[in-house]
Amino acid sequence: MVFLREISTIGIVGAGQMGNGIAQVAAQAGYQVIVQDVFPEALNKGHANIEKNLLKGVQLGKIPSETVKAILGRLMFTLNISELADADFIIESATEDPELKAELFRRLDQETAPDVIITTNTSSQSVTRLAGLTKRPGLVAGMHFFNPVHIMKLVEIIDALETTPETLQIITDIAKKMGKETVIIKDMPGFATSRISAMLGNEAFYMLMDGLGTPEDIDKALKLGLNLPMGPLELGDLVGLDTRLKVLENMQQNLGERFRPCPLMRKYVEAGRYGKKVGKGVYDYPDK
Ligand code: NAD
């Protein structure tokens, strides 16, 4: 039996739209947070986004203004992955690329103490494979957040082949402390949520390619007709079409041809139209 450490500092790898959102909710929950990325501009953008979200929370009366300084004071940003040696718990949320994540897991296994739990926010990749690259597979699991992290209620916890019940319990407790609801789902490509979301978004892209209607009308039809909170094309822009394409490619490889990415989505990604985060996807976002 491994005695797991008390968790006061959370290390987050990747300061993108998910990484900075996770950093915000972790700091709001009272954890010290170290956010690491390889690009200074990603760290700057992540930091600015957290500040903007907190100030909006104050304006909406959801966050007491006197707490903002303390929340921001719990965040530290770094380009150096070795600084994660001070973390008691890791959430990896870098780009959805299998080789990049494999390399990161090997590195995180070296940089962190052997009793530290390492989780991944991957949307679709095998957590069991990432766990197998470490010397602590029992302490590896998925911790799948949703976008925007400070608003979405769910954390889907992914139970990989070797994940121990203690690890799942600790992750559940941390997610609850962040104010989230949890579910525990077995490790299969796309888990429960991405599997459906990617398929819906892909099919909406095929409709767009087939000329069924304008993006606005396709989204409106599905939103109002199926009572969805937002249209699947709009959601794809929010997720990031680059991420969505990677998810679909992984699911096509592992679950079959029904997940073949729509060629039009591939073209959008080739053109750099990744969605809201870059100001242009299916729709335009001029203020981004
Ligand atoms: P993003 O493109 O906004 O951010 C990815 C970040 O990773 C970038 O800042 C990039 O600089 C950084 N990065 C790249 N290589 C790195 C490295 N070697 N070390 C540290 N940082 C590195 O993407 P995102 O939407 O934040 O997605 C991140 C992860 O979260 C992916 O695995 C994705 O599948 C998952 N996810 C995304 C969503 C969503 O809706 N976007 C939802 C749930 C989970």
CATH code of the domain covering residue 219? 1.10.1040.50
State whether the beta carbon of 123 lies less than 6 angstroms from ligand 1. Answer: yes
Is residue 277 classed as helix, strand or coil in its secondary structure? Answer: helix
Confidence (pLDDT) at 70: 97
SS3 content of the chain, % helix, strand, coil (to 5): 50, 15, 35
Residues 127-150, mean pLDDT to the nearest whole number = 98
* Residue-wise DSSP of 161-184: TT--HHHHHHHHHHHHHTT-EEEE
Q: Is residue 27 part of a domain?
A: yes
Residues 76-101, mean pLDDT to the nearest whole number = 97
- Global pTM reads 0.95
**Which atom number of ligand 1 is nearest to the Cα of residue 120?**
32
Confidence (pLDDT) at 5: 83
* Ligand 1 center from residue 45 Cα (angstroms): 13
Token pair belonging to 88: 């008691």
Give the pLDDT band of residue 19 (cuts 50, 70, 90).
very high
In a shared domain, residues 55 and 164: yes
In a shared domain, residues 109 and 201: no
In a shared domain, residues 213 and 110: no
Range of weakest confidence among 1-5, 10-14, 139-143, 212-216? 1-5
State whether the beta carbon of 121 lies less than 6 angstroms from ligand 1. Answer: yes
In a shared domain, residues 177 and 208: no
Q: Is residue 109 part of a domain?
A: yes
Which residues contact residue 41 at a Cβ distance below 8 angstroms, ignoring those fewer than 6 apart?
A: none
Give the pLDDT band of residue 288 (cuts 50, 70, 90).
confident
> Quick check: 278 pLDDT over 80?
yes
Q: Could you tell me the residue range of the domain that residue 245 belongs to?
A: 193-278
* Ligand 1 center from residue 97 Cα (angstroms): 9
Which residues contact residue 258 at a Cβ distance below 8 angstroms, ignoring those fewer than 6 apart?
A: 199
> Where does a domain end: 170, 186, 202?
186
> Quick check: 271 pLDDT over 90?
yes
What is the residue whose two structure tokens read 């390619």?
209
In a shared domain, residues 40 and 125: yes
> Where does a domain end: 149, 164, 186?
186
**Which atom number of ligand 1 is nearest to the Cα of residue 243?**
34
In a shared domain, residues 102 and 235: no
> Quick check: 168 pLDDT over 70?
yes
State whether the beta carbon of 149 lies less than 6 angstroms from ligand 1. Answer: no
State whether the beta carbon of 95 lies less than 6 angstroms from ligand 1. Answer: yes
* Ligand 1 center from residue 240 Cα (angstroms): 10
In a shared domain, residues 87 and 220: no
> Quick check: 3 pLDDT over 70?
no
Summary mean pLDDT of the chain = 97
State whether the beta carbon of 19 lies less than 6 angstroms from ligand 1. Answer: yes
Residues 32-59 have pLDDT tens digits of: 999 999 999 999 999 999 999 999 999 9
Q: Is residue 211 part of a domain?
A: yes
CATH code of the domain covering residue 124? 3.40.50.720
Residues 196-248 have pLDDT tens digits of: 999 999 999 999 999 999 999 999 999 999 999 999 999 999 999 999 999 99
State whether the beta carbon of 127 lies less than 6 angstroms from ligand 1. Answer: no
> Where does a domain end: 160, 186, 212?
186
State whether the beta carbon of 278 lies less than 6 angstroms from ligand 1. Answer: no
State whether the beta carbon of 18 lies less than 6 angstroms from ligand 1. Answer: yes
In a shared domain, residues 118 and 253: no
**Which atom number of ligand 1 is nearest to the Cα of residue 46?**
9
Query: Which residue's C-alpha comes closest to atom 42 of ligand 1?
Result: 146
In a shared domain, residues 94 and 230: no
